[in-house]
Amino acid sequence: MKNAIEIKDLTKKYDNKFELGPINLNIPSGFIIGLIGENGAGKTTLIKSLLSIIKPNSGTINIWGKDINKYESTIKEDIGVVLDGMFFPELLNAKDLNLIMKDIYKNWDSELYLNYLSEFKLSSDKKIKELSKGMRKKLEIAVALSHKPKLLILDEPTSGLDPVVRSEVLDIFLKFIEDEEHTILLSTHITSDLEHIADEIIFIDKGSVLLQETRDNILDNYGILKCDIEDFDKISKEDIIRYKKQKYNYEILTYNRDKLSKKYKDFVIDKITLEELMVLMIKGSVK
């Protein structure tokens, strides 16, 4: 399978002692990859490294087999970006952006851009400073898609959108990757979005990759075993990934839910959400 992104031994250190890496990741083409983790876990540092906004201390990043440091201008032509925080000048309007982007991107498609403005119900004349947070986010997404990129790198792209518009945007992302040459790396705190559209999940905590697995494997095989406090010692250590003691019971992160349901017939093993997985992996203890 062809990789859209290959990251090898990537590190970035800051004076405040936070350190990213070393990160080693292969991100295949044709998929939506969800990037999850707490604030400060390293997601934004990773994204900014991919975009050459910050320079890593060591390691390599190849996008479509090309070193981002050597082919930055060529590669960026094919990357659509939505970052967490508006970066367009607020005195401009959507019509102004169309004129500007035509000079920046050789593949800019004005007709496609205007179609997105219409679909998102965005005024082409209203200044950006007059737009709500949700409308600004929709404008960023419209710009990111309108120069026909092969790769979308998205940081909180649905933040501030109401559920109906979020659903519409997610449908657009799904349509985008119907072409197997297209790829999306999507960082978000709205993990329920990833449960609907992501093919793989990358979970980062304290600068390290804790997990990279398919969404289906996580949702189908991981589970939460719940037991009373007095029954905790009945659970084998090898069946416990993480556990969290509550007031009256334990919540235990397990793997191979179907198998363990037969082994521990007296206990309930619930399906897990990505949010619950994050909480137990970060806050839970090891037996």
Can you name the CATH fold of 3-206? Rossmann fold (3.40.50)
Between 4 and 160, whose confidence is greater?
Answer: 4
pLDDT of residue 274: 96
Quick one: 198 exposed, middle or buried, by C-beta within 10 A (0-12, 13-18, 19+)?
Answer: buried
68 within 8 A of 61, measured Cβ to Cβ: yes
Q: Which residues, including other chains, have CB under 8 Å from residue 251's CB and lie 6 or more apart?
A: 224, 225, 226, 243, 244, 280, 284
Q: How far is residue 164's CA from residue 194's CA, in Å, rounded to a whole number?
A: 16
CA distance 281 to 210: 9
> What does the pLDDT average to over 139-166?
92
Place of tokens 């876990």: 41
Q: Please check the confidence at residue 6 and state whether its pLDDT lies above 90.
A: yes
Q: Closest by alpha carbon to 59, among 51, 67, 138? A: 67
Q: Which two tokens stand for residue 262?
A: 């037969």
Question: Is 287 a residue whose pLDDT tops 90?
Answer: no
- Tens of pLDDT, residue by residue over 217-261, are 999 999 999 999 889 999 999 999 999 998 888 999 999 999 999
pLDDT for position 1: 65
Once rounded to an integer, what is the mean pLDDT over residues 29-36? 96
Strands (E), the chain: 3-13, 19-28, 32-36, 58-63, 66-67, 79-82, 151-155, 183-187, 200-205, 208-214, 222-228, 242-245, 249-255, 268-271
Convert the pLDDT of each residue in 120-138 to its tens digit.
999 999 999 999 888 998 9
277: left (phi over 0), alpha (psi -120 to 50) or beta: alpha
What is the structure's pLDDT at 134?
Answer: 86
43 versus 1: the higher-pLDDT residue is: 43
The answer to whether the pTM exceeds 0.95 is no
Distance CA 249, CA 231 (A): 9
* pLDDT tens digits along 54-113: 999 999 999 999 998 888 878 889 999 999 876 789 999 999 999 999 999 999 999 999
Residues 178-211: tens digit of each pLDDT: 988 899 999 999 999 999 999 999 999 999 999 9
Report yes or no: 134 and 141 within 8 Å, Cβ to Cβ: no
Residue 143, phi then psi, degrees to nearest 5: -65, -45
pLDDT of residue 2: 85
The encoded tokens of residue 132 equal 């709500």
